[in-house]
Structure 1
C-alpha cells in the first residue's frame, strides 16, 4: 500500500512540473503574411547623353536648273567632320521590357566639304571645271522614342528602339569656289557665297545599345542611333561680282550614325524590402 501511494505522489509531482514549464513558455504567434519583394523597375526617369556624329548627304544642288543643263559629266564627293551631340530627355518605364521617352538634342557645328568635277561643251572642245564647297551645319533634333529591353544578364540589358519627330537643320558660311563655267562660256574662277539658311523637317531614328544598372536609381547606356534628318538649305546665294545669284543650295537627305554615352536617373525608387519577422521564444 505504501508503494502505491509513492507512485501516485511521484506522478502528481511530475504532472505539476510539466504544467509549470508549459506556463513559462511563450505562445508562438501564427505566421504573419508579408508582401513579396517589389519589382526593381517602373516609373519616371530623366536622362542625359553626350556623343558624336558621323554624317553624310546624298548630294548638294543649286535650285537654278540652268547651271546643270549642258553638262556632259558630273561627279560629286561630299563629307562632314565629326560633330558633338548633347541630349536631355524624360521618360517612363512601364515594365521590365518596355519604356518610352522624349528627347531634345543639339547637334553642334560640323564642317562640310564638297567637290564637284564637271565637263561641258566649250565651243568645239570640251571644257572641264571643278567646284569646291565649304559650309557649317548644325541641328536641333526632337524625338519621341519607344524602346524594348531584351533581357538582363549580369546587370547588362541590350535594347532596341525607334523614334519619330522633327529636326531644324541650319546651313551657315556656305561658299562655292569654282573654275569653269557651268553654262558653257569662258573658263575662269568664280566665288559664290550664300547666307545662313534653316528649315524644319520630319525626322526619324533607329536605336540600339547596352544599358548597365549601377544601382536601382542609376543606369548607364552606351547607344548607337541611325538618324534621318531630312534636307538642309542655304540662304540666297550671290557671286562675289554680283554676276549671278538669287537661288539657294539644297542639301538632300542628310543622315547620321551616332554613338552616345548616357545616364538615366530613376525618379521613383522602389521601397526597401522587409523580410518576414522571426519567431522567438519568450
Structure 2
C-alpha cells in the first residue's frame, strides 16, 4: 500500500513539469501595423453631359429684333483620363490628371428681323462640335471604410483647352452658309467630385465617380461667308459646365 502511494505521488510529481509546460501561453504579439500611404496610378473612362450658359456675338446687339428659339445644347461625349497621386493617410489623398474629352455635337437656332420692319423674317441654324484637354489637380477625403467600400468627396482646380470645330451658320431663308475655323483657348477650370471606391485587392481599387466641372468659355475663329464676301467676329460660347460620370481604377505602387 505504501509503495503504491509512493508510486502515485512520484508519478504526479514527475508529470508536473510537462503539465506546466502545456499550460504555458505566450503573450500575444501585436499585429504589424497597416501601412497606409504612398504613390498610386489612376485611370478612368466616362461620359460628359455638358451645358452651355449662352452664345454671344457682336451682331446680336445690332439687329432690332433677335432671339434664340433653341438656346443651344451639347450631346453627351466620351472622356478618358490618366494620372498619378499620393495617399497621405487613411482619409486624405491628392492626384493630378490629364483628361481628353471627346467631341460633343452642338446645335442651336435663332431668328431675327433682317430688314428692320419689326417682323422676324430670318433664321440661323448653328451646328458644330466641342472638345477639351483638361489638366487638373485634385484633393479627396475618404469617408470611412465599410468592408472595403470607401465613399469620398473632393475638389479640383486646373485648366481646360476648349476647341470648337466644324462650326457652321446656315441661313435657310436667304440660302446663305457661313463657317468658322478652330481657335482653341485655355480657360481656368474647377470641379467638385463625389463617388465610392471598392478595395478589390491590397493594391487595386475600383472607383465609380461623379464630377461637376466648370470648363470656362470657348470661341470659334472669325465667321466667314461661304464665298468669302463677309468676315465677322468669332462666336463665343460662355459658361460651359458638365456633369461627368466615370468608372476608373487606382493602383498603389507601394
| Structure 1 residues 1-282: aligned runs within 5 Å | 21=15, 31=26, 34-39=29-34, 41-62=36-57, 65-75=58-68, 76-119=70-113, 122-179=115-172, 188-268=174-254
> Take 2:168 and 2:205, find their aligned partners in 1: how far apart are those partners?
44
Deviation at 1:124, TM superposition (A): 4.2
SS across alignment from 1:74: strand
Shift of 1:31: 3.8
CA distance in structure 2 between the partners assigned to 1:148 and 1:220 by the alignment: 16
What SS does structure 2 have at the residue aligned with 1:96?
coil
Does structure 2 retain, via aligned residues, the 8 Å contact 1:74–1:119?
no
The TM-score with structure 2 as length reference comes to 0.87
Q: Are the counterparts in 1 of residues 52 and 240 from structure 2 also a CA contact under 8 Å?
A: yes
SS at match of 1:126: coil
Deviation per CA, 1:68-119, whole angstroms, max 9, x where unpaired? 3133241242111111010111111122211111111000111111111233
> Counterpart of 1:100 in 2: which secondary structure?
strand
* 5+ residue gaps, structure 1: 1-5, 181-187, 269-282
Q: 1:226 to 1:124 in 2, by over 3 A?
A: closer
Q: Give TM-score scaled by structure 1 length.
A: 0.79
Aligned equivalents of 2:157 and 2:244: distance in 1?
Answer: 16
Gaps of 5+ in 2: none
Deviates more, 1:150-159 or 1:223-232: 150-159
Number of matched residues? 252
Give the 4+ runs in structure 1 shifted more than 4 A.
Answer: 9-30
Cα offset, 1:14, TM superposition: 7.4
- In 2 relative to 1, CA 23–98 (structure 1 residues): closer, same or farther, beyond 3 Å? closer
Give the match's secondary structure for 2:200: strand
